[in-house]
Amino acid sequence: MATSVGRMQEKEPQFFAKLGHTTVHEGELARHSVYTRFLHWAYGIFFFLALFTGFATYMPFLFRWFAPAFGGPATTRMLHPWFGLGFVFFFGLQAINWWGPMKWTDTDSRWIKHLPEFLRSTQALEPEDVGMYNGGQKLQFWEIVVGSIVYLITGIVMWAGARTFGATSVAISYILHDISALIMLFGIFFHLYQATFGQPGTIQAMTRGTVSEAWAWTHAPAWFRQMTGRDPRQALEQERQRRIARERAIEQLARGGPAGPPGGGRA
């Protein structure tokens, strides 16, 4: 069963639509267009290139072993700002692309308040009002937006150097660039984790563009509802209740007494 692409909130340039397509199998939902995926991997690659060249260049006492891969320290240094620009460029496009879906809502604020509970996985499902992206994802998105702007400005200052912007600007930029990088680095661990081990099935959204319906209603219930019109939550609840009841019944059966919820029920 295929779902209409048009219902996705992402717009896709004609070029990319022609370039590739997204096959949605039975039990799957289309999540990301080819364009989105392309952008993601583009800035993803640039991010890591910039990250590694950055490591090699700016903390060589730990990471100078990165440099040979880029043709030595000097080339590494030379490439880094270009990688950075690549990252900012593609991420910039993505930001335009995602500007809508990433809008911050009350739901997201609520989500953030309950973050510790989500981390501890006390619930199997996202809250029912979580849409295409949850608060965490949005937070990371906006962090990257802000971070990219910081990168861009401070990077250019350092790139042009003290000759153009003066020693003080460079020194300040140096710190801000570092801070930006450290925060983003911190965040990226979660991103990678959540995309892979943390929430199995996620990465498929950026590879094939689809997610399973199960994934969708687990991790983005509102979106799932929007996409399918179904709301399996009640059914799940009932099922859950049913199972609980059933287990109790079995327990009672094992004890030899009548099974049923406290205070009455089927017995």
Residue 163 interacts with other proteins (CB under 8 A)?
yes
Structure tokens at 197: 């081990």
Structure tokens at 43: 């800035």
Rounded CA Rg of the chain: 24
Residue 26 interacts with other proteins (CB under 8 A)?
no
Q: Taking contact as CB under 8 A, which single stretch among the options 6-14, 76-84, 106-114, 129-137 is the one that binds other proteins?
A: 76-84
3-state class (DSSP) for residue 264: coil
Bridge partners of residue 212, in order along the sequence: 28
Nearest alpha-carbon partner for 181 in 156, 208, 152: 152
Residue 255 interacts with other proteins (CB under 8 A)?
no
User: Are the CB atoms for 186 and 100 separated by under 8 Å?
Assistant: no
Residue 60 interacts with other proteins (CB under 8 A)?
yes
Nearest alpha-carbon partner for 187 in 248, 127, 118, 136: 136
Minimum distance, C-beta of residue 35 to other proteins, in the bound complex (Å): 25
Residues 135-154 that bind other proteins (CB under 8 A): none
Nearest alpha-carbon partner for 83 in 151, 146, 174: 151
Alpha helices in the chain (DSSP H): 14-19, 34-58, 60-63, 73-98, 106-113, 115-119, 135-160, 162-193, 204-207, 213-219, 221-228, 232-255
Residue 206 interacts with other proteins (CB under 8 A)?
no
Residue 45 interacts with other proteins (CB under 8 A)?
no
Q: Which one among 1, 115, 175, 244 touches other proteins, defined by CB under 8 A? A: 175
User: Are the CB atoms for 91 and 149 separated by under 8 Å?
Assistant: no
Residue 58 interacts with other proteins (CB under 8 A)?
yes
Q: Which one among 10, 128, 143, 178 touches other proteins, defined by CB under 8 A? A: 178
Task: Report the alpha-carbon angle 12-17-20, nearest 5.
Answer: 130
Residue 28 interacts with other proteins (CB under 8 A)?
no
Residue 235 interacts with other proteins (CB under 8 A)?
yes
Residue 210 interacts with other proteins (CB under 8 A)?
no
Residue 217 interacts with other proteins (CB under 8 A)?
yes
Residue 107 interacts with other proteins (CB under 8 A)?
no
Cβ proximity to other proteins: between 10 and 178 the closer is 178
> How many chain residues are in contact with other proteins, going by CB under 8 A?
65
Residues forming the site for other proteins (CB under 8 A)? 57-62, 64, 73-74, 76-78, 119-121, 124-125, 158, 161-163, 166-168, 170-172, 174-175, 178-179, 182-183, 185-190, 192-193, 197-201, 212-215, 217-219, 230, 232, 234-236, 238-239, 242, 246, 250, 253, 266
